[in-house]
């Protein structure tokens, strides 16, 4: 049966219109999962509001070695004072967004029964995605240099890779507490630093300020690499929290890995001798060493292919009071009295007072 002719269709459209859904709009995002934001910010309750010019904690890194000794009766001994704690100090990092810009006349043009959606809401949504993209990137990377004051101290800042103090990669398939030097984002060996939060981890007195690290062969994730991760977990006393019967697997212990490594890891697990119960892919929730695996799209393009095992409870998000996701009042732009912008401020820092126990990293060469 023939359909409508073009003339008939045009005439029909002149008497009706498409169904328009009002007061809502669909939204898309750059990443399918904001893994680092989700674990460190949205799900991690270990946040600390803090004022002052910076954030500090005192950390004891040394025993009072030699203060305990055997003695004979009536033997005279001297007292020995313990070494003082050191100061771990980090600066706050501030971000601002000035992307919500509008003309007051737009509000009039976008009002009444003719309005489909509020244009301002879509603009605000786009800017909060930009904030999420920036914070996700910064949590997954290091600052550009030791003097970069505009970048959070992301996870790779605290869990440093296997390299010497000159910035040269050191292969270490066994692993150990050798994470001493920060590899800054620009990749230049001239800007590496062994000083983390004001403490020089390259010194003997601060060796407990180092994190566990190991290297992996190039190519896909393999069982020996998984065994290396488990070795690191055991060395750091890393473990998932015990679960009661019926309790969901939402633990403090997580392993961040790229989506590529996660796909390979699932293949390794599913190739085992488990009873599949009629399902070729029977597993829904994957763990490694009882730690929950978190797929991190932000790691997909990381050249050193890191695998981070992290105890989330040992990391704190330090928030500057009054400047964490603070949306300010609309402000006029100079020489344009009808044009306004709404600023959004973010101020804080990622911090742990024990990198040695907070986790570790297994990575490829660089």
Q: Mind listing the pLDDT tens digit for each residue in 170-184?
A: 999 999 999 999 999
What pLDDT shows up at residue 61? 95
List Cα–Cα distances, 55 to 46, 317, 318, 339, in angstroms.
15, 11, 8, 38
Q: Provide the pLDDT confidence category of residue 247 given band limits of 50, 70 and 90.
A: very low
User: Is the pLDDT confidence value at 278 over 80?
Assistant: no
pLDDT digits (tens, 9 = 90+) for 317-365: 999 988 988 999 988 887 888 888 999 999 999 999 999 999 999 999 9
User: Is the pLDDT confidence value at 251 over 70?
Assistant: no
What pLDDT shows up at residue 104? 84
What the block records as the tokens of 59 is 């950390």
- What residues does each domain of the chain span? 35-60+81-272+282-363
What pLDDT shows up at residue 103? 85
Give me the DSSP letters along 107-135.
HHHT-GGG-SS-HHHHHHHHHHHHHHHHH
> Of all residues in the chain, what percent carry a pLDDT higher than 90?
57
Q: Provide the pLDDT confidence category of residue 193 given band limits of 50, 70 and 90.
A: very high
**Proportion of the chain in helix, strand, coil states, percent, rounded to 5:** 25, 25, 50
How much is the mean pLDDT over the chain?
Answer: 87
What pLDDT shows up at residue 244? 45
What pLDDT shows up at residue 143? 94
User: Is the pLDDT confidence value at 149 over 60?
Assistant: yes
Q: Provide the pLDDT confidence category of residue 68 given band limits of 50, 70 and 90.
A: very high
| Secondary element (H or E) of residue 294 | strand 291-295
């Amino acid at each position: 049966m023939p359909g409508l002719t073009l003339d008939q269709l045009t005439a029909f459209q002149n008497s009706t219109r498409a169904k328009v859904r009002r007061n809502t709009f669909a939204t898309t995002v750059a990443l399918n999962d904001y893994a680092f934001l989700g674990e460190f910010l949205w799900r991690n309750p270990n946040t600390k509001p803090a004022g002052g010019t910076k954030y500090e904690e005192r950390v004891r890194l040394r025993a009072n070695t030699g203060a305990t000794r055997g003695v004979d009766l009536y033997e005279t001994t001297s007292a020995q004072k313990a070494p003082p704690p050191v100061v771990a100090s980090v600066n706050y990092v501030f971000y601002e967004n000035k992307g919500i810009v509008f003309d007051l006349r737009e509000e009039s043009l976008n009002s009444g029964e003719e309005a489909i959606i509020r244009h301002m809401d879509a603009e605000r949504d786009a800017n909060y995605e930009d904030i999420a993209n920036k914070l996700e990137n910064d949590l997954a990377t290091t600052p550009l240099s030791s003097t970069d004051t505009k970048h959070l101290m992301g996870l790779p800042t605290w869990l440093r890779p296997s390299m010497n103090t000159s910035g040269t990669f050191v292969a270490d398939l066994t692993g150990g507490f050798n994470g001493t030097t920060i590899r800054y984002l620009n990749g230049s060996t001239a800007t590496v630093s062994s000083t983390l939060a004001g403490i020089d981890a390259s010194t003997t007195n601060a060796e407990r300020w180092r994190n566990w690290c190991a290297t992996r062969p190039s190519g896909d994730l393999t069982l020996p690499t998984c065994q290396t991760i488990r070795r690191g977990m055991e060395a750091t006393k890393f473990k998932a929290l015990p679960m009661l019967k019926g309790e969901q697997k939402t633990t403090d212990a997580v392993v961040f890995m790229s989506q590529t490594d996660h796909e390979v890891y699932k293949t390794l697990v599913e190739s085992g001798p488990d009873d599949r119960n009629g399902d070729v892919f029977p597993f829904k929730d994957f763990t490694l060493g009882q730690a929950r695996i978190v797929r991190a799209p932000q790691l997909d393009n990381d050249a050193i292919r890191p695998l981070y095992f992290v105890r989330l409870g040992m990391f704190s998000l330090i928030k500057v009071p009054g400047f964490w996701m603070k949306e300010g009042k609309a402000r006029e732009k100079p020489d344009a009295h009808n044009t306004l912008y709404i600023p959004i401020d973010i101020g804080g820092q990622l911090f742990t007072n024990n990198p040695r126990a907070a986790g570790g990293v297994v990575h490829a060469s660089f």
